[in-house]
């Protein structure tokens, strides 16, 4: 199966969580909107009135006849095909629950720089962004980090991944969260990181994986920038 | 199977999407935190260090040995048991995708009155709430309503539910969204509703269902109030 990923071509954004799963699994995929004429193809699919299963927004994945949107839903579908989650229903629900909590976290990171509206420029909501980010870095960020650190801490010794014994797509997403908040809030993270040693070790373990390490060095990995979910505005990072 | 739902006892909130599914199916369930000593029981489960699958936040569902959190994940699990979604994987992914889009919409409604932080009072972020709600009612609310209206419009004539022929848990959630935005933004909705006749008809169809109509009149249905996701602040509703 050759998968087709549709996502904005110039940012990591939400699409990166899907890219990391495809890359780690060595899956055959096309990052459609990054190809010549790929953006118009994506926009046609988004705006088509005949598509029976229209996405609300990118990312979405074409897998044969299926068109699947919502990042966590795409990963729910892919993980069983790419062997990135154990087979039992209980474990899959648990993995998906963690992924949905990550999705909430991503939404909150986005809103640190866009607390008023996604259609307005950052500069138009800078004062509100300062207030929201202060609350996020003081309260929400430690809450999310602490929650996932606790999950790692509860495992028997030697279990180094979020689901326990074996790597899963949730670990790949957690790597991306740590990368992202380090990029966006370097001062805050320098202060917080010592409290979450298991998460940082997980991040390092993922970044060294045989397919992830070369991916991160490749041109397929779009650098962080000021257009994505994770943005570095020094005035927000005290 | 007797299900145990754990959610804040004084609000509809995110728990209501689960309640509506359980009620429509006539499922045997216990709304634990609304019983005597239910709140301490919920807090113990939330704070337990031994629970292998700890929820990040309510709602969560106990089903036998399983503890499942994240509203859309709970519905993903329940829908197959309660016959509230067709059996094919493609349709289930599509239903879940719609539910996750509803979850995003719920998050945005919450942030209209809490754009800075959930730990602060509304009164501490009223100025920002006015700006965010103006953007929400002008841009986001019509976008969400228009998306779901289009889905109904694409069906062949006579298909009156979001997945097509038969009612699903997504329709129950859509009923709740219409109820909620009508409560929170009555003026805005009076202006917008004529553009979305299929959604309003769906809402009315759901509210008349044989188990939903009596539920809505029962004391089990908590009234809307100023503590939940949907709140009526007249100054936000122009």
Min Cα distance B131 → chain A (Å) is: 6
Rounded mean pLDDT of chain A? 96
Q: Please indicate, yes or no, whether residues B70 and B150 belong to a single structural domain of this protein.
A: no
Evaluate whether residue B237 is within a structural domain: no
Q: Return the exposure string of A26-38: e unless at least 16 CB atoms fall within 10 Å of the residue's CB, then b.
A: ebebebbbbeeeb
In a domain, B238, yes or no: no
Q: How far is CA B162 from CA A74, B5, B171, in A?
A: 20, 26, 6
Partners of A132 on chain B (C-beta within 8 Å) are 115-117
Beta bridge partners of B68: B61
Question: What are the chain B neighbours of A52 within 8 Å (beta carbons)?
Answer: 154
Which of A56, A116, A120 faces B147 most closely, judged by CB atoms?
A56
CA–CA distance, B125 with B111 (Å, rounded to integer): 11
C-alpha to C-alpha distance for A184 and A101, rounded to whole angstroms = 19
Residue A8 inside a domain? The answer is: no
Give domain status of residue B235, yes or no. Answer: no
- Rounded CA separation A17/A96 (Å): 13
Q: Which domain holds residue B170?
A: 89-229
Q: What is the CATH number of the domain that holds B62?
A: 3.40.30.10
What is the least distance, in Å, from the CA of B18 to any CA of chain A?
A: 15
Torsion sign over Cα A92, A95, A101, A103: negative
pLDDT in tens, A57-82: 999 999 999 999 999 999 999 999 99
CATH number at residue A118: 1.20.1050.10
Q: So what's the ipTM on this one?
A: 0.97
Chain B residue whose CA is closest to A129: B116
Could you tell me if residue A96 is inside a domain?
Answer: yes
Residue A138 within a domain: yes
| Residue B108 sits in the same domain as residue B144 | yes
B203 pLDDT tier (thresholds 50, 70, 90): very high
Residues B183 and B118 in one domain: yes
Judge: A93–B68 Cβ closer than 8 Å, yes or no: yes
**Secondary structure in 3-state letters for B27-72:** CCEEEHHHCCCHHHHHHHHHHCCCCCCCCCCCCEEEECCEEEECHH
- The residue out of B55, B81, B107 marking a domain boundary is B81
Is there a contact between A132 and B139 if contact means CB atoms under 8 Å apart? no
Last residue of a domain, one of B59, B81, B103: B81
Please give the average per-residue pLDDT across A36-57, as a whole number. Answer: 91
pTM over 0.90: yes
The pair of structure tokens assigned to B81 is: 């048991």
Residue B116: CB partners within 8 Å, gap ≥ 6? A115, A128, A131, A132, A135, B124, B125, B128
CB contact under 8 A, A117 and B96: no
Using a CB-CB distance cutoff of 8 angstroms, which residues of chain A are in contact with residue B110?
Answer: none
**Considering the domain boundaries, does residue A2 fall inside one?**
no
| pLDDT greater than 80 at residue A158 | no
* B220 shares a domain with B118: yes
In B32-170, which ranges are E strands? 60-63, 66-69
Q: B224 and B125: one domain?
A: yes
Distance from C-alpha of A212 to C-alpha of A206, rounded to nearest angstrom: 7
Please determine, for residue A35, whether its predicted confidence score (pLDDT) is greater than 90: yes
**Is residue A227 situated within a structural domain?**
no
Q: Across the strands, what pairs with B196?
A: none
Same domain as B73, residue B164:
no
Domain match, B72 and B96 both: no
Measure in Å the smallest separation between the Cα of A152 and chain B Cα atoms.
10
Number of structural domains in chain A: 1
Which of B117, B120, B162, B164 is the best substitution to test chain A (most A C-beta atoms within 10 A)? B117
At residue A3, the 3 state secondary structure works out as strand
Q: What is the pLDDT of residues B96-132, one digit of tens each?
A: 999 999 999 999 999 999 999 999 999 999 999 999 9
Q: In the prediction, which pLDDT does B92 show? A: 97
């Amino acid at each position: 199966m050759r998968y087709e990923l549709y996502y904005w071509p110039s940012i990591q954004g939400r699409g990166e969580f899907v890219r990391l799963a495809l890359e780690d699994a060595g899956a055959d995929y096309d990052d459609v909107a990054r190809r010549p004429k790929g953006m118009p193809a994506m926009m046609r699919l988004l705006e088509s009135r005949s598509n029976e299963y229209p996405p609300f927004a990118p990312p979405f994945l074409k897998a044969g006849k299926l068109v699947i949107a919502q990042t966590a839903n795409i990963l729910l579908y892919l993980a069983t095909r790419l062997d990135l989650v154990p087979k039992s229903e209980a474990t899959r629900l648990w993995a998906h629950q963690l992924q949905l909590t990550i999705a909430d976290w991503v939404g909150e990171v986005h809103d640190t720089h866009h607390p008023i509206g996604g259609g307005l420029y950052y500069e138009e909501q800078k004062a509100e962004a300062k207030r929201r980010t202060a609350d996020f870095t003081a309260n929400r960020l430690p809450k999310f980090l602490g929650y996932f650190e606790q999950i790692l801490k509860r495992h028997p010794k030697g279990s180094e991944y979020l689901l326990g014994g074996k790597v899963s797509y949730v670990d790949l997403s957690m790597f991306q969260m740590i990368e992202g908040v380090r990029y966006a809030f370097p001062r805050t993270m320098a202060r917080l990181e010592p409290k979450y040693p298991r998460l940082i070790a997980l991040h390092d373990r993922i970044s060294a994986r045989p397919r992830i390490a070369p991916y991160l060095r490749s041109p397929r990995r779009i650098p962080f920038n000021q257009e994505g979910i994770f943005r570095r505005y020094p005035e927000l990072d005290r």
